[in-house]
């Protein structure tokens, strides 16, 4: 080694700034080969992994965001349904109340109608019974009058006073009967 250095130094011809052309060639070719491998294989392979990794991370974030959005949408929907259900319940309650009132009113009306009908029927019945009474009364009054007349005639002039009383009473009866019939 020492000898080499000494011999190189004693030669004194080699300038360190003057390149060896063959060495330049080897470096040029070597670097070109390396560049080729790097451009063709190494950089694409690493970039692919980097891109995949970034995508995996960003994909995860996107997925989480999607889940979040879905959850909030579901919550929104649930709230909406709850509001709807409440409104529905209110509506049904109102309807029931209205229906109840309607039913009550109907019943009242029906009851009123029924009572009116019953009253009317009673009136009719009473009227017909009165008619019947009047009719039977008439016939009875005839008989009574005849009987009375017979009695009066039978006991004729025995007692003027009594006959007068009988007539008075008869007339009074008749009057009351007439008044009842006229009613």
Partner 1 sequence: MHLPAILPWGAADGFSKQMLLVILSVVIIATFFLLAARKQQLVPGKLQFAGEMAYGFVRNSIAKDIIGGKDFMKYVPLLFSLFFFILVNNIYGAIPVLQLPSFSHVGGAYVLAGIVYITWIAIGIKKNGLKYFKLATVPSGVPVYILPLIIPIEIISNFLVRPVTHSLRLFATMLAGHLIVMIAGSGIEFLIMQENLLLKGTSVLVLVGAIAMYMLEALIMALQAYVFTLLTAIYIEGALHADSH
**What are the residues binding partner 1 (CB under 8 A)?**
1-2, 4-5, 8-9, 14, 16-24, 26-28, 30-31, 33-35, 37-39, 41-43, 45-50, 52-53, 56
Taking the complex as a whole, the smallest distance from the CB of residue 66 to partner 1 amounts, in Å, to 20
The helix/strand/coil state of 50 is helix
> Which CB atom, from 1 or from 182, has the smaller least distance to partner 1?
1
CA 18 to chain centre: 99
Q: How many CA atoms lie within 13 A of 53 on its CB side?
A: 6
Residue 141 CB contacts under 8 Å (≥ 6 apart), including other chains = 174, 177
Residue with smaller CB distance to partner 1, 29 or 85: 29
Q: Take residue 178 and report the two structure tokens written for it.
A: 């007439």
Nearer Cβ to partner 1 (4/179)? 4
Work out how close the CB of 1 gets to partner 1 at its nearest, in angstroms, rounded to a whole number: 7
Cβ at position 61, least distance to partner 1 in Å = 15
Q: Which is nearer to partner 1, 53 or 91 (CB)?
A: 53
Quote the least distance from Cβ 68 to partner 1, whole Å.
24
Calpha distance 39→45 (Å, rounded): 10
Instruction: Give the ranges where the chain is alpha helix by DSSP (H).
Output: 2-11, 21-37, 43-154, 160-182
Residue number with CB closer to partner 1 (23 or 161): 23
* Residues contacting residue 155 through CB under 8 Å, at least 6 positions apart: 162, 163
């Amino acid at each position: 080694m020492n000898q080499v250095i000494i011999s190189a130094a004693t030669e004194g011809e080699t300038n360190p700034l003057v390149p060896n052309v063959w060495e330049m060639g080897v470096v040029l070719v070597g670097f070109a080969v390396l560049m080729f491998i790097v451009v063709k294989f190494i950089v694409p392979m690493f970039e692919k992994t980097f891109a995949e990794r970034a995508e995996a991370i960003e994909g995860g974030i996107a997925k989480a965001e999607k889940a979040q959005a879905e959850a909030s949408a579901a919550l929104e929907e649930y709230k909406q349904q709850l509001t709807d259900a409440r409104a529905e319940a209110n509506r049904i309650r109102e309807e029931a109340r209205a229906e109840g009132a309607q039913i009550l009113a109907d019943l009242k009306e029906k009851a009123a109608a029924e009572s009116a009908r019953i009253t009317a029927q009673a009136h009719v019945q009473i009227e017909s019974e009165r008619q019947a009474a009047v009719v039977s009364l008439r016939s009875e009054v005839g008989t009574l009058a005849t009987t009375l007349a017979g009695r009066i005639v039978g006991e004729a002039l025995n007692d003027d006073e009594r006959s007068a009383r009988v007539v008075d009473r008869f007339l009074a009866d008749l009057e009351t009967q007439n008044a009842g019939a006229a009613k």
